[in-house]
Structure 1
């Protein structure tokens, strides 16, 4: 792989398709209950950094696969993680609980972090950690507020 990672582009497309469909179908339901600006900004920085560095390899920050058969491992593990991610999207599409929130935030975080490590891509690994911590926190906090909102609505 040179400066452009075609596999990373395909992985990003697989991850983004259900998100785009969800955003299209739920246009008015995009605001979350968790409003910590610093965490939200850090998550967005991590997210877009992961998007960029999954696809583009910057010289001297990207060292490529560092062990034998790494490409096979990279494609196999990321393929399995993407498949599980799509399964959770399908299974939890009508659910707003903690399972959906955590699975749909932990799985892409694992994809980004794993890719950064296997590719020895330093910026991707750093942005993946920033994204993972903040995205999982936001997803968890938003799922708690939805559960509390549904409990209040029933009472």
Structure 2
């Protein structure tokens, strides 16, 4: 079990829970593409799971000297960037908000998978990232 990954997931979920609590009407998905939506959700929940759970055979470990330090530093920086994105863009509905709040977690999952050679996380992040960014940007443009 990766407790640092659990802390990262818990931290990035905080603004999402606050948003859900303060916006009772929720988020309206205007971009209707069932395949992209399915892949995005599968990738998202896979990323959440594999940030926390390490399957020994599929998680090869930190693959170079300093990879663990780079993992902690990059994950921490991207987590802070995500929280700052929420703070800066809280009241704004814009394409730039959508880009920041979709690209940053995508990078977070990708770098976490690559630094730790966590194969399932890399696969899920590669599925999640383009779908999440596409859905976020399409919704911003359709608003």
TM-score with structure 2 setting the length: 0.97
Of 46, 49, 54, 1:52 maps to: 49
Over aligned residue pairs, what C-alpha RMSD do you find?
Answer: 0.8
Which ranges in structure 1 are unaligned for 5 or more consecutive residues? 147-155
Matching of residue 91 in structure 1 with residue 88 in structure 2: yes
The one of 45, 58, 63 aligned to 2:60: 63
Q: Kindly provide the CA deviation profile for residues 56-80 of structure 1, in whole angstroms up to 9, marking residues without a partner as x.
A: 0012110111111222111111111
Pairing 1:106-121 to 2, within 5 Å after superposition: 106-121=103-118
Determine the C-alpha separation between the residues in 1 that align with 2:119 and 2:26. Answer: 35
Structure 1 CA distance, aligned partners of 2:68 and 2:8? 14
Q: Which has the larger radius of gyration?
A: 1
> What is the CA-CA distance between 1:31 and the residue it aligns to?
2.0
Query: TM-score, normalising length from structure 1?
Result: 0.90
TM-superposition CA deviations, 1:13-70 (whole Å, max 9, x none) = 1111101110111121322101111110000000000000000001211011111122
**Where does residue 34 of structure 2 map in the other structure?**
37
Aligned length: 143
The alignment status of 1:8 with 2:22, answered yes or no, reads no
**Segments ≥4 residues shifted beyond 4 Å:** none
Displacement of 1:127? 0.2
